[in-house]
């Protein structure tokens, strides 16, 4: 793999950029691999990368029914934070956030990590008490957050309306080292690094069946033929239930669409991420000047990847109350991503009833921010067959044993 650098850019500019090589190979699938990972999104590619980097396993195929990064990885609002209440959640999200800090250098790819700060507004007394509780918990967990006053909120976000017609701003939970990254670049960086280690990334290759013998996985049937494997990792976000059904077990999840939109580009107006969970809207500004806006998930199960008018109306109405300055902006585009929700709004990183088969899913609306930590923990599970400290609390057995990690109540929002 040729390293990207300022010198490489200058060299290629001198020869009209004719010497760039493909970022990753597109090989034909081999007959068998040590590990097959289903899903070439951020989580699947990160799993492959850390299997190679941390555990020396490189005979890996990452298969994707569409195109690399074309699922939720390319359909989110790119928020990165780790200010969760429950200890297992804070640990894995903080691992992810810390890995994001150096990910550009690690992958030799600018993922445009921007630690601009994430602010979660407290707009009711109940919410204020909850965020104060979270700030205390984060202090014990080693996650750097603080609860800030309305005056500090206004200082950080001058365009905000503190009084609000329905819900005044009473303060905010502030994580200064939270922020955003470029979602496509994260997927491309992991893919490029995996390909350089000799792993095969196989696009347009849909899994149609899971083969097993004597309770052990032996391979997968795909639209490009059978691929044998010793271990199988299912990392397919909103389609986790469908793949689990092929493998012969059920998951306690449901799939719904999560919607977002962007405005027309404007001059810099907001340089932090603001989440207003009481009215349910969140917003940041991209490097291109667009306001990136997200809201809630659909209230019914579906597999759509498009937006809907009523969600746009609800989300924009809520944000216009808090940011009146944006009221005359035009929406440029909207979209949806398929998220898989567990009952406790926490992920599943686990062995399954099928030997040699592992599952990583149920991230709900928190998938992008967790990519490096998720891949790190999943790689450890696949390599060793048993979960490490980051993944041990997120096993499937917790639903049978009643050990829920309830972030839907604890965090006030699952984003």
Average pLDDT over residues 119-146: 95
Domain count across the chain: 2
247 and 365 part of one domain:
yes
Instruction: Please write the tens of the pLDDT for every residue from 351-378.
Output: 999 999 999 999 988 899 999 999 999 9
- Count CB neighbours of 247 within 10 A: 22
CA 272 to chain CA centroid, Å, is 19
Alpha-carbon distances, residue 224 vs 36, 64, 186, 215, 219 (angstroms): 14, 11, 27, 25, 13
The answer to whether position 122 is within a domain reads yes
67 and 131 part of one domain:
no
Element (H, E) at 226: strand 225-234
306 and 290 part of one domain:
yes
Confidence of residue 409 (pLDDT cuts 50, 70, 90): low
Domain CATH code at residue 129: 3.30.9.10
154 and 260 part of one domain:
yes
33 and 169 part of one domain:
no
Range of the domain at 322: 115-177+255-341
The answer to whether position 215 is within a domain reads yes
- Please choose, from the candidates 240, 241, 192, 234, the residue with its C-alpha nearest in 3D space to the C-alpha of residue 44: 234
169 and 191 part of one domain:
no
Average pLDDT over residues 122-150: 95
What is the value of pTM for the model shown?
A: 0.95
Average pLDDT over residues 159-163: 94
Q: Say whether pLDDT at 414 is over 50.
A: no
Check residue 134 and give its pLDDT.
95
Query: Mean of the per-residue pLDDT values for the chain?
Result: 93
Check residue 165 and give its pLDDT.
76
């Amino acid at each position: 793999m040729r390293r990207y650098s300022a010198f490489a850019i200058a060299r290629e500019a001198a020869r009209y950029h004719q010497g760039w090589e493909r970022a990753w190979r597109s090989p034909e699938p081999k007959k068998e691999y040590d590990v097959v990972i289903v899903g070439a999104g951020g989580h699947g590619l990160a799993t492959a990368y850390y299997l190679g980097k941390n555990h020396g396993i490189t005979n890996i195929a990452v298969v994707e029914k569409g195109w690399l990064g074309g699922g939720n990885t390319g359909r989110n609002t790119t928020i990165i934070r780790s200010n969760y209440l429950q200890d297992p959640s804070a640990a894995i999200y903080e691992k992810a956030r810390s890995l994001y800090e150096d990910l550009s250098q690690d992958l030799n790819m600018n993922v445009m990590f921007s630690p601009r700060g994430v602010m979660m507004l407290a707009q009711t007394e109940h919410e204020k008490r909850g965020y104060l509780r979270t700030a205390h918990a984060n202090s014990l967990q080693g996650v750097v957050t603080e609860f800030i006053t309305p005056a500090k909120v206004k200082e950080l976000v001058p365009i905000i309306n503190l009084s609000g017609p329905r819900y005044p701003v009473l303060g905010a939970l502030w994580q200064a080292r939270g922020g955003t990254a470029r979602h496509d670049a994260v997927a491309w960086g992991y893919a490029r690094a995996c390909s350089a280690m000799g792993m095969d990334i196989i696009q347009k290759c849909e899994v149609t069946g899971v083969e097993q013998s004597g309770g052990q996985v032996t391979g997968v049937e795909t639209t490009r033929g059978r691929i044998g494997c010793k271990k199988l990792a299912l990392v397919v976000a909103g389609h986790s239930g469908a793949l689990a059904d092929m493998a012969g077990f059920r998951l306690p999840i449901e799939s719904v669409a999560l919607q977002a939109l962007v405005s027309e580009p404007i001059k810099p107006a907001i340089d932090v991420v603001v989440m207003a969970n009481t009215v349910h809207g969140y917003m940041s500004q991209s490097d291109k000047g667009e306001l990136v806006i997200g809201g809630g998930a659909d209230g019914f199960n579906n597999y759509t990847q498009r937006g809907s008018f009523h969600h746009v109306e609800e989300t924009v109405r809520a944000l216009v109350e808090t940011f009146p300055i944006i009221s005359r902006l035009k929406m440029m585009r909207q979209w949806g991503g398929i998220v898989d929700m567990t009952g406790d709004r926490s992920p599943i990183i686990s062995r399954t009833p099928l030997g040699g088969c592992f599952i990583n899913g149920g991230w709900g609306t928190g998938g992008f921010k967790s990519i490096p930590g998720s891949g790190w923990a999943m790689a450890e599970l696949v390599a060793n067959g048993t979960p490490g400290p980051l993944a041990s609390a997120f096993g499937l057995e917790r639903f049978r044993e009643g050990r829920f990690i309830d972030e839907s109540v604890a965090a006030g929002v699952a984003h």
